[in-house]
Amino acid sequence: MNNAPKIPTPEFVEAFNNVEKYPTIKDVAGLFGLKVQTVKNRAHRLRSAWRAGADVPQIIARGTIDNTHEAPMSENEELFMENWGPEECVAELRRIAEIDETKIITRNFFRNNSAISESTWNRYFGTFEEFKRQAGITLSRTQHKLEREIATHSSRDVYRRIGDERLGRGEKYLRDGSGRWKTILVGSDLHDIEVDPFWLRVFIDTARRTQPDIICLNGDVFDLAEFSQYNVDPREWDIAGRIKFVWDEIFAPLREACPNTQIDLIEGNHEARLVKLVSEATPAMKVVLSDLHGWSVAKLLGLDKYEINYVAKADLAAFRKSDVNKELAKNWRNYYDCFIASHFPHARAMGLPGWNGHHHRHNIWESYSPIYGTYEWHQVGAGHVRAASYCDGERWSNGILLASCDTVTKSTVMDYSQLTDFTVVAGEFYYRTEEEGAGSLAVWPAR
């Protein structure tokens, strides 16, 4: 039921049109004891009736430049050409474009210089960009798609040139000693400065104690969150610092602890992303190039400095995400025909024991082969700290894998060690210190 007071139309219109005395609609509403929306609705009805020829007083349109019409600022109702079709609109646009062929025709320029209103052409073409396409002033969608394809292939050429540096790096520093029994120490997903300090201490000490035949760094040793899916403030970028952290805190201690051990780095998605973005020489990358005094893939990753093999078979020219994932899936290594090392879990279907990383959570599958018998596949936990500042890692786990095999019988044993506030690796107990987060709920929840 409408309980609004009945206000005579002439009095209502007189007050509504008096902007000087009643500058806001709220003032008009207060004068008559009405709601603001009621005033707006009544003014709209009267305005529509007046335009339709009804015998009512003319009422202004408040909020417009001259209070005479309700059209948006971009619309000039007097220039609306009701009888114009698409052909006339296109001819007018081309006429304006030919006035100065060196000028880019913007919507505002056309609005200010043409003889028609926006509603004249908008009803046929929707957007001004499409209007220009139909007039032949800008590229058609097909032409634009062709240009994008050319640009894509040009970029692929650059990526392939950079990517070719990686090829053949997987076997440069092979140190396959004699002996029937082999042991591989596996760590995955360290993510440079985000590495868990407890995990890193245990991993390096285990390498020193066990002197494995191979140390397999199973992808994403580097992170460079600046280029990841996480939102990182560009003002906090320290690309060179993160790279040097890997050199000084991970590679150097491992090489010092195991001077005769083969060290392999399986390329993960973060390493591939880093190499691609460095190849583009973005402004951020110029800082890296300056701080690292020139670069190549080998120098950027410290491969020659620390004598590390880089297992990278992926074609960096892949663009679509699905194609990128297929290419990165090629980055795997076969050890002694006993193990497959891969950053991604697809390799579990290859029919050999082995491991993957990437998901930062430990999982284990048991399979059977008539050649290898019953064997295990491990998805290893990360070396990445669980309390990362830019992502939710509470469901992640940390872990280290020792994989051993008999190269004659091809039998294998997997010894996986989870890290919490303590761990046991190869018979040695380790305990997390306060400096490494002991007692912190963010690092490991108390029980």
How confident is the model over 250-302, as pLDDT tens digits?
999 999 999 999 999 999 988 888 877 766 655 555 555 555 555 677 888 89
List the structure tokens of 206.
């285990």
Residue bearing the bigger pLDDT, 108 or 205: 205
Q: What's the CATH superfamily of 171-436? A: Metallo-dependent phosphatases (3.60.21.10)
List the structure tokens of 58.
């003319």
Assess whether pLDDT exceeds 90 at residue 82: no
Strand order in the sheet with 339-342: 332-335, 339-342, 354-356, 373-379, 363-369
Assess whether pLDDT exceeds 60 at residue 64: no
How does residue 65 score in pLDDT terms, banded at 50, 70 and 90? very low
Q: How far apart are CA 157 and CA 243, in angstroms?
A: 26
Closest CA to 247 of 210, 221, 219: 221
* Mean residue pLDDT across the chain: 84
Yes or no: say if 256 and 215 are a contact pair by the CB < 8 Å rule: no
Query: Which region among 31-45, 138-152, 263-277, 324-338 has the lowest average model confidence (pLDDT)?
Result: 138-152
Yes or no: say if 15 and 28 are a contact pair by the CB < 8 Å rule: yes
Mean pLDDT of 154-163: 68
User: What is the structure's pLDDT at 416?
Assistant: 98
Positive or negative: CA dihedral 345, 181, 200, 255: negative
Mean pLDDT of 113-137: 89
Residue bearing the bigger pLDDT, 145 or 438: 438
Assess whether pLDDT exceeds 80 at residue 23: yes
- pTM (predicted TM-score): 0.67
How does residue 228 score in pLDDT terms, banded at 50, 70 and 90? low
| Each residue's pLDDT tens digit, 365-377 | 999 988 888 999 9
Assess whether pLDDT exceeds 70 at residue 116: yes
User: What is the structure's pLDDT at 328?
Assistant: 86
Assess whether pLDDT exceeds 70 at residue 393: no
User: What is the structure's pLDDT at 71?
Assistant: 45
Assess whether pLDDT exceeds 50 at residue 174: yes
